[in-house]
Structure 1
Amino acid sequence: MKKILLLLADGFEIYEASVFIDVMGWNLEEGDNSTQLFTGAIRKEIKSSFNQRFIVDYTLDEVDVNSFDALAIPGGFEVYGYYNDAYDDAFLNLIREFKTANKIIATVCAGALPTGKSGILKGKDATVYDMPKRREALKSFGANVIHQPIVIDDNIITSWNPSTAIDVALLLLEWLTSKENTNKVRKLMGF
């Protein structure tokens, strides 16, 4: 079983998180049955953008990186406090641990920013939400900012807005399983 940790910060973008839940869930039930997704955050209860409450499976101190195959990080809204958690040392350290263990890391939109702040994008190609302020922030973390929807460097995927989220989730599924299996799931989901 391939295990994915969906790393959530207060103010996370619901749609950007939900695509990972749906794609991995569809694969568990209708694909090759090989993926299981779990959620993690600094606190057991967090709020998304638009103030929806969620209970996560793990707090960050409970996560054993070696028991996971991949990390998925959705972006979020500054006005809902996304960067308070996303830039917290515990959040950044967990990203570093996944990189040190050579695990796949997939981000959507502003999820590239804590990934960059963690230091693992230094000297790597990456993208982020298509806004000058966000591109400059990513650049300040040492990333080579590429102006395109999805950027892959090594085993790290970054993307630039919610419209890319489903493609990132499906790409992650392909990396974890196979192209054939992913095409089956894509078709079943109507994409």
Structure 2
Amino acid sequence: MKVLLLLAKGFETMEFSAFVDVFGWAREDFGSDIALHTCGFTEQVISTFHIPVIADTVIDRVNPEDYDALAIPGGFEDYGFYEEAYDERFLNLIRNFHQSGKPVAAICVAALSLGKSGILKGKRATTYHLSGGRRQKQLAEFGAVVMNEPVVTDGNIITSYCPQTSPYVALKLLELMTTKELSDTVKTAMGF
């Protein structure tokens, strides 16, 4: 199995690393066959705080049929996150995974990409909850039923409301792709 980790420029490194660590622990320590592949608009994606990450592939080369789930870290507007996170190619990938019934996991403001893609209409979801709830209001404008909870799952869609929730989103995605038992085992091994 494969997870596509979709990176928009200005992505949050903590939110990115949670998927890398959780799926790495599952694979290396517990024999999971899930591989994680990174994707950006360019081969080198500059994250929040100017940390460069070399992506495995670029968005124009992705075949969604090659992947079993989609994971998206949020990011900072000041670093250009929404320029790519709202790009039609980004949104089309989200739509494709959702229409195929594959899990889609978004941390923090990455839920706004899900909302803009249209997949959250009438679905329970959350996004960044601080700063007066401005981002949650934006999510509601996309038709989501906004829940002020740390992690919200509605069917195969997982959203969360801040960087602190990152490992819990990754663990929930692991659970949806495998079993609750494996997710709980990795959670315990990582000290959560």
Question: TM-score range, shorter-chain basis?
Answer: over 0.9
Provide structure 2 residue ranges, at least 5 long, that are not aligned to the other structure.
none
Worse-superposed segment, 174-183 or 47-56: 174-183
Aligned to 1:160: 161
In the TM superposition, 1:16-55 aligns within 5 A as 16-55=15-54
Shift of 1:63: 1.0
**Structure 1: which amino acid aligns with 2:48?**
S
* Corresponding letter in the other structure for 2:46: K
- State the distance in 2 between where 1:82 and 1:154 align: 26
Partner of 1:151: 152
8 A contact 2:126–2:161 mirrored in 1: yes
TM-score calculated relative to the size of structure 1: 0.96
Q: Is the 8 A contact 2:14 2:163 kept in 1?
A: yes
Within-5 A mapping of 1:83-122: 83-122=82-121
Deviations along 1:32-72, one digit per CA (max 9) or x if unpaired, are 32211000111111100001111101111111111111100
Q: TM-score, normalised by structure 2?
A: 0.96
Match of 1:14 in 2: 13
Aligned length: 190
Instruction: Write the distance in 1 (CA, Å) between the matches of 2:153 and 2:186.
Output: 22
Q: Is the 8 A contact 2:124 2:145 kept in 1?
A: yes
* Identity rate, percent: 49
The Cα offsets for residues 106-153 of structure 1, whole Å up to 9 and x where unpaired, read as 111001001110111011111000032201111111111111111111
RMSD: 1.0
Match of 1:59 in 2: 58
Gaps of 5+ in 1: none
Contact persistence 1:24–1:35 (CA under 8 A)? yes
Counterpart residue type for residue 42 of structure 1 = F
